[in-house]
Structure 1
Amino acid sequence: MSTNMKAVQTQEELLAHLQTKNISVLFFTAEWAEACNQVETMLVVLAEKYSKIEFLKLDADQFEEVVEGYEIEAVPTVLFVRGKEVIDRVEGVEPQKLTSLADSILLSSVSGSSSIFGTAEEARVSSASISQENKAALTKRIESLVAQQPVMVFIKGSPNQPRCGFSKRLVETLKRLNVSFGYFDILSDEDVRQELKVYSNWPTYPQLYSSGELVGGIDIVEEMINSDEFLDVIPETAKALSN
């Protein structure tokens, strides 16, 4: 079946497409994320329906600068853009939302969009918007979460189905080292996702905690492994016995 879904190979190629100021659809995917296959199937159908619209497929692991600029939190993510400007987005597998946005955006002219290098979506809950009473309760919940297991990781997705490359790397690293761990999917709770950044004074994910204390993200973990320091901060109860 022919389709105008195009796999973009270079950033220069992407910029050439976006210079036109036309509405297009950007599909951020990754080979390791099974959920992307379902979204791609839906997009192929939409690409046939809206044959005059460009559908561009990007491997998130190969376009790190673009991923950062567009604030892509996980794959699959679909962006509806006019030129370089974001109109709306769909994160994860949401067939009804994807179809609804496609029909409303691609069928009509769209006015008022946000810059890809602007702040996060208005719908996202910031720490400042939480009342003091709720903030105190949320802090207690976070304190409980970070100490829920001797080693806790806060990742995007789950260990079996991570939704970002950094989360995938952290999970694979812990498994390789036979470190047992609990996890929390920060995409499942926006309040925890935002407040944990404040609590830990660490702005990105994933985050790894040992005995309730922040160790750091994947870069810190890898640096500590290279200097033979990492296992020293892991409780004995989290070190699985090797055969």
Structure 2
Amino acid sequence: MANLVAVSSSQQFEDLLKKSGKSLSVVHFSASWAPQCSQMNEVMGELAKEQPQVTFITLEAEGVPEVSEKYEISSVPTFLFFKSCEKIDRLDGAHAPELTKKVQKLASSAGVPAGGAEPPKEDLNERLKKLINAAPCMLFMKGSPQEPRCGFSRQIVQILKDHSIQYSSFDILSDEEVRQGLKTYSNWPTYPQVYVNGDLLGGLDIVKELAESGELENSCPKAETLEHKLKSVINRSPVMLFMKGNKEVAKCGFSRQIIEVMNSTGVDYDTFDILQDEEVGSTGTENIFQLANVPSAICER
């Protein structure tokens, strides 16, 4: 595939960026020992087919240390996005849907439109407000609940889990603008940060204190039961497909095959990525049918 290239030297890397010019280049810093990197390479391969104008580059982070150090690569997988040899965005972690969104967005934003003026950017504070109010309890952390990227984030995820707190999360490593802007907005210099009903609850120390005093459950919404969660997910659409990945990026061969079958029938359906929810993913087909008590659903183990 002409637009998917593996590089092994800093000179080859620099030459490819120069050759790409103003077109988007996506660089995957990976490691052969990390299975999630292999999975993301498959995603890159699919994206390379869909976006022939984009250059996709893979390199071993430890094999080209001078490049990894220059761009502060501390973990794999990490993705950097370049235009005109300048880094314009970054994504840390194996988040296939987010990678797909960023590639589609950045590949389509070719620069200044024909009218000559750049489209207005959403005000950062407005964007932060939307994120903070995206759920009754929002956790801004490094990484995801499934893959915390620092010890403090790992601790707070465990506390929320132990106390059955229902929450959504945002990976501040995936967006530098949000990462820096939220510190000012919250007047809180470190992460993680927990917001409840649009107001800052605090960081790890405060959450620990609330947990020890027994007040955490009263401060944060309790998690819904597994039965209620399954019914809610299944009833989102008349036809629900439980799979690995989503419609845009299937994460295994079986999921890819069933997506092709579903698309060929013209049936309107929605999907749920079992890799993003360990509780739902480990429930199993039989329990989903039994708990939800519905006559029809499409499930994959």
Question: TM-score, normalised to structure 2's length?
Answer: 0.39
Question: TM-score, normalised to structure 1's length?
Answer: 0.47
Greater radius of gyration (CA): 2
